[in-house]
Amino acid sequence: MVFRVASALLGLLAVPVLAYQTAFTVPPVSSPLNASFTPLGALNVLSATKFTTLVHPAFPNYGVRVKKSNFCDGTIASYTGYIDIEARHLFFYFFESRSDPETDDVIFWTNGGPACSSAIGLFMELGPCRIRDADEGPVYHAESWNSNANIFFVDQPIGAGFSYADYGEYVSTTEEAAKDMAAFVAIFFAHFTKFQGRPFHLSGESYAGRLLPVYAATIYDQNPYLVAAGLAPINVSSVMIGNGMTDAPKTVAGWYEMQCTPASTMPVQSIENCVDMKKKLPRCMKWLKESCQDIFDSINCAAAMGFCMQSFIYPYILLGRDPYDISRLCPGSPDCSDVLEAPIVEYLNRADIQSMLGVDPSRSTFAACAYDVVDAFGGLQGDVMHGSTEYVAGLLERGVRVLIYAGSYDYICSWVSNEAWTLELEWSGHDEFAGQPLRAWVVDGERAGLTRSAGPLTFATIDGGGHMAPYERPKQSLEMVQRWLAYEEL
């Protein structure tokens, strides 16, 4: 496999997927579900040596194990644990805000893949510390997103990071995985009541462009069930997607634009190859639309994606350039991030660190990504080809804000492709949003990127950022998030 997003696409097989709407059975008004429930109350009562188990009668098949795991940044409280769904177990990290954990917003972060560990986001991109050397351990990270927000990092779906299943269980669609996330958030907030009513933001990158709109919609749609069960609703405030794959065909079109036009750099591909690609692009887009969007025909969709990848991905790979940063070559490996992730993988495979985190011994080998899960999502179900633009539209129509941002140098999920689908998105604010010109946004007197905004939708680029923009441009990324949380214009 060359790199993660492409491997999810390449794995498409002839197995159809049926999209369905997650439904919650609302209990009767007189439901006693919350009558005997006593919340745990405060995080500081948790033990540092053993897990405390959280349950709620409204979610009988779910539990949350959590413990203190003060590491990474000694100035704040941090916790780790598992979301238990019968025989499935999702690992998570939680860090309180450096500013005011009693009042600050709550952010949920997940990496992409699918099934790449959110420890990469934590230890390489936007967490309270970074791991540059496995023996040296955590180094304080000043531009962490918990500067003024409480933040979760979740290894999901099952199989990612330290998450595991007892008997090989798994999920293979975004809609399935969304139900687990919605239950987790409900149970956590039910026990730690200080977070109830806080603005809740779902954020992530790459394949999270497919995941997060569905997760946010599922949590939003679950609220009537929570209210009927005597629980406080979750205040789904916004979704923040970085270099996401939300609309796969638009992503494919971006592959041509990025290497054959000066969208971010001077064209990197030969004129001869670009002429050939331009001839193939209409066929690629027509085939994807007819076989993957208008009607999902798994065999033809797989054939269409194979043709498109052969036409646009493979010529790029032969250039030896980084798929996550078009401005640089990728020495020694077609996936440059392997070098950056190596210290994190080594650190999390240390027995003393796993013991401190509370990692289950049955999941003692840590890997950055679980490619069997990638194959389940891509190969068995073709999940990515269903896209999530309609979920985004549904959230916008209900007043949930959406920030689509992209590092300007990312090739695989480019700013070009993300701008394209936001401009075409069908929602009531379409005309106003599409009619806005791109304008510069500025940090400390210097241009940080370009942005367009109307109503609850904002699109932004981060100059010089790649696929993992919070890593390459930490200062600009944090400033963007802080303005977003404060309802300030970029």
- Which residues are identified as catalytic? 206, 410, 467
Tokens read off for 413: 């999920």
Euclidean distance between CA atoms 185 and 110, whole angstroms: 14
Q: How remote is the C-alpha of 40 from its chain's centroid? A: 29
Euclidean distance between CA atoms 141 and 177, whole angstroms: 31
Q: How far is CA 15 from CA 46, 237, 351, 376, in A?
A: 45, 36, 40, 11
How does strand 88-95 pair with strand 129-131?
unpaired
How does strand 62-68 pair with strand 78-85?
antiparallel
Closest to 284 (Cα-Cα) out of 317, 309, 257:
309
Euclidean distance between CA atoms 403 and 261, whole angstroms: 26
Euclidean distance between CA atoms 277 and 286, whole angstroms: 14
Tokens read off for 329: 């070559």
* Residue 376, CA atoms < 13 Å, CB-side half-sphere: 19
- Collapsed DSSP state (helix, strand, coil) of residue 60: coil
